[in-house]
Amino acid sequence: MFEEMVMKPAAWLTDEGKDSEIVLSSRIRLARNISNIPFPSVAQSEDRERVISFLQKAIQKSSLLKSGQLYTSSELSRLDKDFLIERHLVSPEFMREGNTKALYIGEEEKISLMINEEDHLRIQALKSGLEIKGAFELADEVDTELASILEFDFDPDFGYLTSCPTNVGTGMRASVLIHLPGLVLTKEIENVISQVTKLGLTVRGFYGEGSDVLGNLFQISNQTTLGKSEEDLVESLEMVTLQIVEYENNSRKTLYREAKEQIEDKIWRAIGILQNARVITSNEVTNLLSAIRLGLGMGTITDIPLSVINQILLISFPAHLQKYFNKEMEPNERDTLRAELIRKKLGGKIKNNL
């Protein structure tokens, strides 16, 4: 499954959209529950099946969700699920515990629906670059259309009702994935994070809550969902993100002024490793590509498009690599094939203008 999808760029990694070298992607997620059915965590399997069949019918009636496809969790292998997590189409929770879940993937992966995750329905809109408003409009249209077919749990005081009270109200989580090597290198990042946190936003490192941030990638999202309108939440995330992009650009200027050789050395070494490595892990690739992305942003490197960097990043993730070669592999084998594939993709492309 998904063999053709692996050859296409993921919706969060095309090089389209505003400031896409720094802001990789914008995402909106709306949590909804169908009235008069218990939330998934306590629902019996018949109820969970009812939810899937209600949504299946609603998708068929919908005009916005015509050209996608619905998958049930039982037809997805472990590798399929990892692949979908890497493409940001499902959450890690989606593949944990319990069955009777389903996933709808829309055209170009811009819209996806997770069914029976923590809530009956999670509508997700994903766009490359700083496009929070665009992503919100997309998710909002789908919500409005589905609400004309289904009845969602809503309380006049509390808004949209969700399984966890941290999502109640708008049920909306808006987020951006942002690349901040300049702020990390100048050690300004802690300062920025603490300021952002004061504004009601949350900052997390890429992929989980581990201590090491992978590839200088951060996710910023709204912390609260109740008491503000969707438009206000989107607006404040956008304003803060624009501000951070400016901080990042300033810190890059500082780096270029104060430590040009060291930064260029870092970038060229990253290219050297990727062009020559024989064994390489996915995490190492993510970190090295961060340096190359920085090099593209600062104009140190010019002869490679951002789209190639994005493709290498995506294809290097473990499940993507296995889908690409169409076989399941142990980590050792993956690391060798990954190195080989990257050498082919980057071979001779970047010239070192001495």
Told to check if 143 binds other proteins by CB under 8 A, we report yes
Work out which of 116, 128, 225, 310 binds other proteins, going by CB under 8 A. Answer: 225
Told to check if 64 binds other proteins by CB under 8 A, we report no
- In whole angstroms, how far apart are CA 118 and each of 84, 122, 165, 166? 17, 8, 12, 12
Total residues contacting other proteins by CB under 8 A comes to 40
- In whole angstroms, how far apart are CA 41 and each of 6, 74, 139? 32, 18, 24
Q: Pairing relation of β-strands 154-155 and 69-72?
A: unpaired
Told to check if 153 binds other proteins by CB under 8 A, we report yes
- Residues 226-245 touching other proteins, rule: CB under 8 A, are 226-230
Is 169 or 318 the residue whose CB approaches other proteins more closely? 169
Largest CA distance in the chain: 69
CB of 199: closest distance to other proteins in angstroms?
Answer: 13
Told to check if 161 binds other proteins by CB under 8 A, we report yes
Told to check if 116 binds other proteins by CB under 8 A, we report no
Encoded one letter per residue, x for contact with other proteins by CB under 8 A and - for no contact, window 180-209 reads -----------------------------x
Element (H, E) at 237: helix 230-258
- In whole angstroms, how far apart are CA 146 and each of 63, 106, 131, 152, 170? 10, 14, 23, 9, 16
Told to check if 33 binds other proteins by CB under 8 A, we report yes
Specify whether the CB–CB gap between 217 and 21 falls below 8 A. Answer: no
Q: Give the CA-trace dihedral at 89, 91, 95, 99, to 10 degrees.
A: -90
Work out which of 17, 68, 106, 169 binds other proteins, going by CB under 8 A. Answer: 169
Q: How far apart are the first and last CA of the chain?
A: 46
Hey, is 43 helix, strand or coil? coil
Encoded one letter per residue, x for contact with other proteins by CB under 8 A and - for no contact, window 302-341 reads ----------------------------------------
DSSP state of 300: S
Structure tokens at 225: 């969902």
Told to check if 248 binds other proteins by CB under 8 A, we report no
Is 222 or 251 the residue whose CB approaches other proteins more closely? 222
CB of 193: closest distance to other proteins in angstroms?
Answer: 16
Chain residues binding other proteins by CB under 8 A are 33, 35-39, 41-42, 118, 140, 143, 147-148, 151-161, 163-166, 168-170, 172, 209, 224-230
